[in-house]
Amino acid sequence: MTDQVTNRQLFFIIVITLVGFSIIELPKSLAESSGRGAWITLIIASISFGVLAAILAYLGYLFQGKTLFEYSQLLVGKLLASFFVMIYLVYFTIILAFLNRSAAEVIKTDLLIKTPIWYTMLFMLIFSGYAASKGITNVGRILEYYGVIIIFLAICIHIAMFFQGDLIDIKPFYNSAEKIKYFTALPEVIIAFLGFEVLSIIPFSRHNGKKAVVYVIGAMLFVGLFYILIVETSFMVLSVEDTKNYKNTLIAAMRRVEIKHLQFLVRLDIIFFMAWIFALFSTFTVVTCTAAGLLKKLFPSLKRQWNLIVILVVAYMLGVLPSTRLASQILTVTTKNLGLVPAGVIPIILFVIAKVKRYG
Amino acid sequence: MGNKNFRSLTMVLFVGLILVGCWDSGNIEQQNNVSLVIVDFNEEQYSFYIELANVLGGNLRDDQGGGGYSILHASGPSLIDARDQLNRRSDYPVFLGATRAVVFTQRMADKGIEEYINRIRREYDYRKSVVLLTSPTEPFLLISDETENDRSVGDAIEHTLENQKNEGQTVVVTVGDVLQIIALENVGFLLPQISSEEEENTLTGYTVFKDAKRIGTIPAEERKGIAYFLCSNPAFYYETKDENNHFIFNVVMVKKNIKPLYKDNQITFEIDMSFECELLYMNKITTITKEQQKHLSEELTKMIEDDVISAIKDSQRTYRTDYLGFYKYFRAKFLKEFKEMNWEEKYTQAEIKVKVKAKIEGGQGVDFNEKEE
């Protein structure tokens, strides 16, 4: 059987796909929306999205060896199943195109000032496309290593930031006067928790068992805690008030921190960029792999390479053509408003039908 | 076969991409690496004085036969005009990532530094951990200082501050700190002041800023009280005298607790500070009795308390702005109220209660007579 991953690989696939891009702007959107209570918003979000991810994982567990396309055929018929897969395919292609665009813009403003965006985008897609051509099983294996490196580096950097900042800047941790803000800020963090829909193309095997659901929930909660560490330490270094003045807040925060004892590695942003580009590459690889996998479900006769090339070309053209403002609007609309359809609505519909039809 | 073609295609693309190279690549020798920036405003003209490292000369000073450091000056009616002239004068692109310190002249500080700070925020290559200072000395005098050990004046200024900070003697203010403060309204800040005294660059005090404009200067001799609020491990020498002896103490702050209260529109701060006072030596070596110990401890408590109170008084009455960071303690507890109030106004009316505890300890070779006589 192909396309299988172990539970541990599943954990890293979800964590890395989620954190890849959204961390850059997360501190800004939280500083503006929920302020010093950002950690509460993040906990609520990680639990809610944990439940949605668990539903998708549970469906995978119920229908072992089948992906979303196959089990939705059983549940809602072939036509509707193809429609669902279409939605996922369009969604992932748009995400790939515009995440790549946004990442290239960040790289242009903060790292490679003169390198044109079309080039950075092309470079990213070709590399992740090549990795994705090896199939999700191999991608899972790479991510197991990359995941450890990325998470280890990120945690080290943010612990260093914690000691450079001052805890008093992020107090009070809870302010009863701002209770409602903690909830109204939720739409701002949706983008940060999307990405677990990659489960739709990963068939679970007997070896994954029921534990897979636990690993998926664990990954979502881990991401929540990871975000709290990132956001709070950024607030400590930048201050909540000044965080609002930056677009790429995390990079701005990195630029504030220096550890004199590290001699030639005094500036942390070098390590950060390394880890972040690793993470971006991993995210794009998983998303490309997912989109190509979905396309194959719709057109089974197409060869894998052609699937990939179609996805990469479409995603590249989509991402490179619009103006900066239009591109960021499309990304916001897709993630904020439409993102909940593949992440929440479709899995819930399928779950309810599965229960009504007495599967499991 | 198809698979093989696909592979060769990707290989060709990879190699092609790598050969294209990077648009941003640049040789370190083809950059003007800045180590110090002095910003001046004189007769309606903004000026930059920058110190540049000559990488090809191996960073040796002139007398060692190397290229050493060179100084570049540019001016214009606005900051962009001055920068424009600077660009037209430098043989390679100006690279700010290696800047050690930014010094504002007193005239510039009077004019206001907010624009320049926001400029630094935007300049991607400027480190946000660059130290900021002010200076009443003319820029050319400051930048042509002979350093003792450092390679450049920029390095020397940063190291002087860094060493003093490690000794617990001064507060160091970076671009990041000032960016945090100007994001708030109604909070002031201090910048260390450096002046050329007897042809040596010397830390001579602190410049007080309100709305990012200079409103006064506090001399270095009065810095103790400020350090107790702003330094992480302040330590100073104190000297007490009685009719026949002098006592020299090393006073180290071990605990600081600032508790904000807010009742009936009135802010109160309760400050609790504990100090360990190590008796280093005396003018004449004698045994110190219990009674003497008590007397010395009272005297030290009084001296430290005076320093703390005068620092608070300066901030509340003389300059009427909060540069001692009281707002952080208040905001951490009363966020909603803080957002709604005019902090500067409320702060100047705040009641501040100070409690100082000084505990005396004998250093090496000092004999405390613990027994009752």
Please return the burial class of B251, using the count of CB atoms within 10 Å of its CB with bins 0-12, 13-18 and 19+. buried
ipTM of model over 0.90: no
What pLDDT is stored for residue A226 in this prediction? 96
Nearest to B361 by CA among B237, B247, B277: B277
Query: Across the interface, which of B13, B127, B333 has its CB nearest the CB of A126?
Result: B13
Q: Which of A34-43, A160-169, A211-220, A282-291 has the lowest mean pLDDT?
A: A160-169
User: How many C-alpha atoms does B242 have within 13 Å on its Cβ side?
Assistant: 15
CB B160 within 8 A of CB B203: yes
CA-closest candidate to residue A44, choices A30, A31, A56: A30
**B281 close to B252: Cβ distance less than 8 angstroms:** no
Count helices and strands in chain A by DSSP H and E runs:
17, 0
Please report where in the chains the tokens 């995603």 appear, as a residue.
A315
Summarised one tens digit per residue, pLDDT across range A98-144 is 999 999 999 998 888 888 899 899 989 988 998 999 889 999 999 99
Within 10 A of B359 (CB to CB), how many other CB atoms are there? 13
Q: Residue B17 — pLDDT band, cuts 50, 70, 90?
A: low
pLDDT per position as a tens digit, B117-167: 999 988 878 888 899 999 999 999 998 888 888 888 999 999 999 999 999
- B172 neighbourhood in chain A, CB within 8 Å: none
- Residue of A168, A273, A301 for testing the chain B interface, max B β-carbons within 10 Å: A168
Whether B23 sits inside 8 A of A305 (CB atoms) is no
Number of other residues whose CB lies within 10 A of the CB of residue A212:
25
Alpha-carbon gap: A113 to the closest alpha carbon of chain B (Å): 7
CA distances from A341 to A69, A79, A284, A286, A328 (A): 16, 18, 21, 20, 20
Helix (H/G/I), strand (E/B), else coil: B273: strand
The verdict on residue A220 lying in a domain is: yes
Q: Which of A172, A161, A179, A162 is nearest to A41 (CA)?
A: A179
The answer to whether B183 contacts A242, with C-beta atoms less than 8 Å apart, is yes
d(CA B285, CA B195): 39
pLDDT band at A155 (very low <50, low <70, confident <90, very high): very high
CA distance A173 to chain B (A): 8
SS3 letters for B171-239?
CCCEHHHHHHHHCCCCCCEEEEEEEEECCEEEEEEEEEEECCEEEEEEEHHHCHHHHHHHCCCCEEEEE
**B59 backbone dihedrals φ, ψ, rounded to 5°:** 65, 15
CA distance B121 to B115: 10
- Spans of all domains in chain B: 28-220, 223-362
Contact A110 B333 (CB under 8 A): no
Angle at B366 (CA atoms; ends B362, B367), nearest 5 degrees: 95
Candidate from A266-280, A311-325, B72-86, B204-218 with smallest mean pLDDT: A266-280
Q: How far apart are CA A290 and CA A296, in angstroms?
A: 10
Contacts of B179 in chain A (CB under 8 A): 238, 242, 245
For B83-130, how does the pLDDT look when each residue is reduced to its tens digit (9 = 90+)? 999 999 988 888 898 899 999 999 999 999 999 999 998 887 888 889
| Chain A residue with the nearest C-alpha to that of B17 | A123
Beta-strand (E) ranges in chain B? 32-42, 45-53, 69-76, 94-95, 101-105, 131-135, 189-197, 200-210, 213-219, 235-242, 245-263, 266-282, 351-362
Q: What is the DSSP string of A46-100?
A: HHHHHHHHHHHHHHHHHTTT--HHHHHHHHH-HHHHHHHHHHHHHHHHHHHHHHH
Q: Do A305 and B336 touch (CB under 8 A)?
A: no
Which residues does B contribute to its contact with A (CB < 8 Å)?
A: 2-3, 6, 10, 13-14, 17, 20, 22-24, 121, 124, 127-129, 174, 176, 179-180, 183-184, 328-329, 331-333, 335-336
Q: How far apart are CA B230 and CA B311, in angstroms?
A: 11
Among candidates A110, A114, A257 on the partner chain, residue whose Cβ is nearest the Cβ of B23: A114
CA closest to B162 among chain A residues: A260
* Mean pLDDT for the stretch of residues B209-233: 94
Taking CA–CA distances from B175, the nearest residue in chain A reads A256
Distance CA B119, CA B115 (A): 6
- If one counts the domains in chain A, the total is 1
Residues of A in contact with B174 (CB under 8 A): 256
Who contacts B42 (Cβ-Cβ below 8 Å, separation ≥6)? B105, B107
Residue A324: both structure tokens together: 């900066």
Torsional class of B105: left (φ above 0), alpha (ψ -120 to 50), beta (otherwise): beta
- Whether residue A213 lies inside any domain: the answer is yes
Residue A228 corresponds to which tokens in the numbers above? 């709290």
Q: What is the dihedral of CA B179, B184, B187, B188, to 10 degrees?
A: 20
Find the CB nearest B180 among A109, A115, A239. Answer: A239
Q: Give the number of other CB atoms < 10 A from CB of residue B86.
A: 21
Distance CA B220, CA B232 (A): 18
Which residues of B fall within a CB distance of 8 Å from A130? 10, 14
**Min distance A174 CA to chain B CA atoms (Å):** 10
**Where would I find the H helices in A77-178?**
78-110, 117-132, 135-164
With CB atoms and an 8 Å threshold, state whether A177 touches B336: yes
Tens digits of residue pLDDT in B302-344: 999 999 999 999 999 999 999 999 999 999 999 989 989 999 9
pLDDT at B151: 80
Q: Looking at the partner chain, which of A113, A178, A242 has a beta carbon nearest the beta carbon of B180? A: A242
- Beta carbon pairs, A and B, within 8 Å: 75
In this structure, is residue A89 part of a structural domain? yes
* Of residues A114, A122, A168, nearest to B328 (C-beta): A168
User: Which of chain A's residues have a Cβ under 8 Å away from the Cβ of B31?
Assistant: none
Residue B365 binned pLDDT confidence (cut-offs 50, 70, 90) = low
Please check the confidence at residue B60 and state whether its pLDDT lies above 50: no
Report chain A residues touching chain B, CB-CB < 8 A: 36, 109-110, 112-116, 119, 122-123, 126, 130, 133, 166, 168-169, 171-172, 175, 177-178, 237-239, 241-242, 244-245, 252, 255-258, 267, 303, 305
DSSP A248-281: SHHHHHHHH-B-GGGGGG-BTHHHHHHHHHHHHH
Residue-wise pLDDT for B182-200, tens only, equals 998 889 999 999 999 888 8
Torsion of CA A84, A86, A92, A96, to 10 degrees: -170
Interchain pair A166, B328: CB under 8 A: yes
pLDDT at A101: 93
**What is the CATH number for A290?**
1.20.1740.10
Contact B332 A171 (CB under 8 A): yes
User: Looking at the domain assignment, is residue A1 inside a domain?
Assistant: no
> What average pLDDT does range B344-352 have in this prediction?
94
Nearest to B180 by CA among B253, B255, B121: B121
Q: Read off the tokens for A319.
A: 């991402």
Between chains, do B20 and A119 touch, taking CB under 8 Å as contact?
yes
The reported pLDDT for the residue numbered B49 is 95
Helix or strand run (H / E) with residue B143: helix B139-143
B93 burial via Cβ count (<10 Å: 0-12, 13-18, 19+):
exposed
| Full residue range of the structural domain in which residue A250 is found | 7-356
Contact A175 B335 (CB under 8 A): yes
Q: Which two tokens stand for residue A192?
A: 């940060």
B223-362 placed in CATH 3.40.50.300: no
Write the pLDDT tens digit of every residue in A268-283.
888 898 899 999 999 9
Which of A122, A168, A175 shows the shortest C-beta gap to B336?
Answer: A175
In chain A, % of residues over pLDDT 70: 99
Task: Specify the long-range contacts of residues A342-346, CB closer than 8 Å, at least 24 apart.
Answer: A342/A87, A342/A88, A342/A91, A342/A197, A342/A200, A343/A49, A343/A52, A343/A194, A343/A196, A343/A197, A344/A52, A346/A84, A346/A87, A346/A88
In this complex, which of A109, A123, A303 lies closest to B17 when CB atoms are compared?
A123
Q: List the single residue in A with minimal CA-CA distance to B2.
A: A305
Question: What pLDDT sits at residue B39?
Answer: 96
Give the nearest partner residue to A303 out of B2, B20, B183, using CB atoms: B2
Asked if B336 and A166 come within 8 Å (Cβ–Cβ), the reply is no
The confidence score (pLDDT) of residue A75 equals: 92
Residue of B nearest to A112 (CA): B24
